[in-house]
């Protein structure tokens, strides 16, 4: 069953076609990777999915529902969470606060109740905290609960961003270059986590990645892009053997 479908989507900035008529679909429980040289339009596709950009044409479907017109803040509520290539954490807040923001789409309390901190707010807060703790446990982040993000190393921030996305209990998680800036050990950990996210939490993974070792280890299917166009799609080995992909990376 297709969890998520991109149907002929295009994004144009003036005369530049960042994404040109791209179609693909992601099945439930799959790890789907988008690869491509720099500027191929990978992150643009992510920004289209999380509705930061409006597509010039084409449609997005999530669980059979057209989400092309959904406002960006409702995407999370539908069950799509994302991370960012250059880390967009809330720097001057603690890790716990960051992860709790990830629970925002599940917030049930009204502002006036929160001002008085009624028992219902306290109960909701504890429920959020319990969920957050599950994620902390899952990604081994116990040491950083009360640390400010601004003081944490890059590798840890990268994991925290994944954690924040997981806190919203998504059905589909978008990972934008989960291994960029990580060292070999951290990349190793990341590849295990990505597989665990799929197999233990049952979350479908859509990621953009440059590290081909990681791609080969975790992906079920790969889509190769260049200049906004689809070059090839299929299993990692098929895509890597595809002549157009080799040409795009190495020059023909």
Contact residues toward another protein (CB under 8 A) are: 47, 50, 52, 71-77, 81-82, 84-93, 96-97, 100-105, 107, 109, 111, 114-117, 121-122, 125-126, 129-130, 150, 154, 157, 164, 168
Smallest separation, CB 11 to another protein (Å): 14
Whichever of 1 and 130 has its CB closer to another protein, that residue is 130
Q: Give min distance, CB of 92 to another protein, in A.
A: 6
- Give the shortest CB-124-to-another protein separation in angstroms: 8
CA–CA gap between residue 207 and residue 31 (Å, rounded): 8
Rounded distance, CA 244 to CA 164, Å?
Answer: 37
Q: How far is the CB of 177 from another protein (least distance, A)?
A: 12
Closest CB to another protein among 51 and 221?
51
* Cβ neighbours, 10 Å, residue 36: 23
| Residue 154 near residue 183, CB atoms below 8 Å | no
154 with 118: CB under 8 angstroms?
no
Give the angle subtended at the CA of 178 by the CAs of 210 and 1, to the nearest 5°.
90
Q: Which residues contact 157 (CB under 8 A, 6 or more apart)?
A: 87, 89, 149
CB-wise, 64 or 104, nearer to another protein? 104
- Nearer to another protein by Cβ, of 69 and 130: the residue is 130
């Amino acid at each position: 069953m297709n969890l998520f479908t991109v149907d002929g989507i295009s994004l144009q900035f003036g005369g530049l076609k960042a994404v040109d008529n791209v179609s693909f679909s992601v099945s439930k429980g799959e790890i789907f990777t988008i690869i491509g040289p720099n500027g191929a339009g990978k992150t643009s596709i992510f920004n289209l999915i999380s509705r930061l950009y409006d597509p010039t044409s084409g449609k997005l479907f999530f669980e059979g529902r057209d989400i092309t017109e959904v406002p960006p803040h409702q995407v999370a509520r539908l069950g799509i969470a994302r991370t960012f290539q250059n880390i967009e954490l809330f720097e001057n807040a603690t890790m716990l606060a960051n992860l709790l923001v990830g629970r925002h789409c599940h917030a049930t309390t009204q502002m006036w109740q929160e001002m008085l901190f009624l028992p219902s707010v306290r109960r909701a807060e504890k429920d959020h905290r319990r969920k957050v703790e599950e994620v902390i446990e899952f990604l081994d982040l116990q040491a950083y609960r009360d640390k400010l993000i601004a003081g944490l190393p890059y590798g840890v921030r990268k994991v925290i961003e994944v954690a924040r996305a997981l806190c919203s209990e998504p059905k589909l998680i978008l990972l934008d270059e989960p291994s960029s800036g990580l060292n070999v050990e951290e990349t190793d950990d990341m590849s295990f986590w990505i597989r665990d996210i799929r197999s233990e939490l049952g979350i479908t993974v859509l990621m953009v990645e440059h590290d081909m070792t990681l791609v080969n280890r975790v992906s079920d299917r790969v889509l190769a892009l260049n200049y906004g166009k689809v070059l090839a799609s299929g299993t990692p080995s098929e895509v890597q053997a595809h002549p157009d992909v080799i040409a795009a990376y190495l020059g023909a």
